[in-house]
């Protein structure tokens, strides 16, 4: 046994996928590259990332590719009322609950080529590998491409998985975004708002849920560890904030007479940073979206619409921080003589991965010669919706320099294939 193989067996050195790996690494790569064409900027390249926001034409094109590849793997893709795409592979005992695994293929604007895509396409690769090995698992297998995980559209993420888990917010189906109703957007992707309740499944409908995903942080890359085993996923609170001032002439309105909505929004942006960094911990706060109205160089901004997003493993902490942010927003509105609307946009509870499934991922990784590390997820995932219905676990692979939600998002091809191989081994064991 070579030294490298010995070290790999000990889990010290990642063993690049041997040529005999059942995962077809080159097909996974070429499909990730092909999917990246859906939402690529005109004249761009793979390195320019994607804009494949849910319900967009690019999203629809990406979903069509996923369904084509599911069919090629012998599945018969079905779209539920929430637009989720499911593909089921029979097991030897059809009475058993399936092992469910997958991810999403919608992206943020100017996003990366791996967030969600790796987990969704690797799920198809797992089916292809089992077909090639003529393995029939005892449990049925079900793979999924979730609708609107990112929640850029309608400012509320994990839409498809929340619909399945019965976690849609009251009135959520009446939302309108960029002039399109949630109902019409769903119709575009084959969903049906009128039957949205039919997407809901009962708790325990699956035996276990697994999701392979890029870490989107820098821990694994920095420590040169090929596989991450997620311990838990953060809680995420999003607020919609509006400051209403008074639009007026930029040249003739004295500074003292202004009701400048952007001044108020700017002060709140700095305040959020101060409040979130004002105590120890790994909590984060982001002002990611801001709309200035009328957004003209020679007009004092009359209105600003913005989002405040807070995240931490502790839902209690971000609830408390959200209260502090709202208090500061009211003080700023009074000081700038602007009117404030401060609304809770969405709350996604934190979720713990199942310890037994974490061990299963570690054992699968060790068998393949991959070192592992347990870590929390600062990113939200559909797995946190599935955690409300049963046991879930996530497999991470390194993000180079921890960059994500950016065209610079990058996971090495070898790490993509490693992740898919661990997903295959984990699913095979869980379904046996």
Q: Which of 275, 361, 379, 392 binds ligand HGY (CB under 6 A)?
A: 379
* Smallest gap from residue 133 Cβ to ligand HGY (A): 33
Q: Going by C-beta distance under 8 Å and a sequence separation of 6 or more, which residues neighbour residue 229?
A: 353, 358, 361, 362, 365, 372, 373, 374, 375, 393, 394, 395, 396
- Which listed range, 6-14, 92-100, 113-121, 382-390, lies at the site for Mn ion (CB under 5 A)? 113-121
**HSE-up of residue 39 (Cα within 13 Å, Cβ side):** 31
Report the site for ligand HGY in 89-148 (rule: CB under 6 A).
115
Question: Rounded to the nearest whole angstrom, what is the least distance from the CB of residue 381 to Mn ion in the complex?
Answer: 6
Say whether residue 157 binds ligand HGY (CB under 6 A): yes
Q: How far is the CB of 30 from ligand HGY (least distance, A)?
A: 24
Find which of ligand HGY, Mn ion, none residue 157 binds, CB within 5 to 8 Å per kind.
Answer: ligand HGY
Contact pattern from residue 304 through residue 333 relative to ligand HGY, giving x for each residue in contact according to CB under 6 A and a dash for the rest: ------------------------------
**Residue 149: CB minimum distance to ligand HGY, A:** 5
Strand pairing category for 227-233 and 208-214: unpaired
Q: Which stretch binds ligand HGY (CB under 6 A): 137-145, 149-157, 166-174, 246-254?
A: 149-157
Interaction of residue 150 with ligand HGY, rule CB under 6 A = yes
Q: Does 302 bind ligand HGY (CB under 6 A)?
A: no
Applying CB under 5 A, among 39, 116, 245, 390 the residue interacting with Mn ion is: 116
Site string for Mn ion, 64-103 (x = CB under 5 A): ----------------------------------------
Q: Which of 249, 279, 228, 218 is nearest to 393 (CA)?
A: 228
Considering only 59, 80, 106, 115, the residue that binds Mn ion (CB under 5 A) is 115
Contact 421, 368 (CB under 8 A): yes
Give the number of other Cβ atoms within 10 Å of residue 339's Cβ: 14
Which one of residues 80, 125, 149, 260 is an interface residue with ligand HGY (CB under 6 A)?
149
User: How far is Cα 147 from Cα 185, in angstroms, rounded to an integer?
Assistant: 11
Number of residues that bind Mn ion (CB under 5 A): 2
In the structure encoding, which two tokens stand for residue 288, read together? 């990611």
CA 146 to chain centre: 9
CB 415 within 8 A of CB 123: no
H or E, element range at 377? strand 372-377
The sign of the torsion formed by the CA atoms of 118, 399, 26, 431 equals negative
Alpha helices, DSSP H, located in 99-177: 117-132, 159-165
Q: Contact residues for Mn ion (CB under 5 A)?
A: 115-116
Q: Contact residues for ligand HGY (CB under 6 A)?
A: 115, 149-150, 157, 379-380
């Amino acid at each position: 046994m070579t030294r490298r193989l010995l070290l790999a067996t000990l889990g010290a050195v990642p063993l690049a996928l041997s040529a005999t790996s059942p995962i077809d690494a080159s097909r996974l790569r070429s499909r990730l590259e092909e999917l990246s064409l859906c939402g690529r900027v005109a004249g761009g390249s793979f390195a320019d990332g994607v804009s494949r926001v849910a319900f967009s034409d690019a999203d629809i094109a990406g979903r069509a590719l996923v369904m084509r590849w599911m069919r090629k793997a012998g599945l018969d893709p079905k779209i539920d009322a929430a637009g989720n795409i499911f593909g089921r592979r029979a097991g030897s005992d059809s009475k058993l609950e399936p092992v469910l695994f997958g991810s999403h293929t919608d992206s943020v604007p100017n996003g990366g080529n791996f967030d969600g895509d790796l987990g969704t396409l690797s799920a198809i690769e797992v089916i292809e590998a089992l077909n090639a090995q003529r393995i029939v698992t005892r449990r049925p297998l079900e793979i999924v491409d979730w609708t609107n995980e990112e929640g850029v559209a309608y400012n509320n993420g994990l839409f498809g998985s929340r619909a399945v888990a019965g976690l849609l917010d009251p009135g959520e189906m009446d939302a309108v975004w960029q002039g399109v109703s949630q109902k019409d957007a769903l119709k575009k992707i084959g969903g049906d708002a009128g039957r949205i309740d039919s997407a809901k499944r009962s708790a325990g409908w699956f035996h276990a849920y697994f999701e392979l995903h890029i870490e989107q942080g820098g821990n694994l890359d920095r420590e040169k560890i090929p596989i991450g085993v997620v311990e838990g996923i953060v809680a995420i609170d999003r607020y919609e904030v509006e400051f209403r001032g008074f639009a007026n002439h930029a040249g003739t309105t004295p500074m003292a007479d202004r009701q400048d909505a952007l001044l108020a929004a700017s002060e709140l942006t700095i305040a959020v940073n101060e409040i979130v960094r004002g105590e120890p911990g790994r909590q984060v706060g982001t002002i990611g979206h801001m709309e200035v109205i009328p957004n003209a160089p020679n007009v004092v901004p009359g209105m600003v619409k913005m989002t405040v997003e807070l995240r931490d493993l502790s839902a209690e902490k971000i609830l408390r921080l959200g209260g502090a942010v709202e208090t500061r927003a009211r003080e700023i509105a009074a000081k700038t003589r602007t009117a404030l609307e401060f609304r809770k946009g969405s709350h996604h509870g934190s979720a713990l991965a199942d310890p037994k499934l974490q061990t299963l991922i570690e054992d699968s990784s060790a068998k393949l010669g991959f070192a592992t590390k347990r870590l929390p997820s600062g990113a939200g995932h559909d797995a946190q919706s599935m955690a409300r219905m049963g046991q879930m676990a996530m497999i991470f692979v390194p993000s180079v320099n921890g960059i994500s939600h950016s065209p610079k998002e990058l996971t090495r091809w070898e790490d993509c294939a490693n992740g898919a191989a661990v997903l295959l081994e984990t699913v095979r064991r869980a379904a046996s």
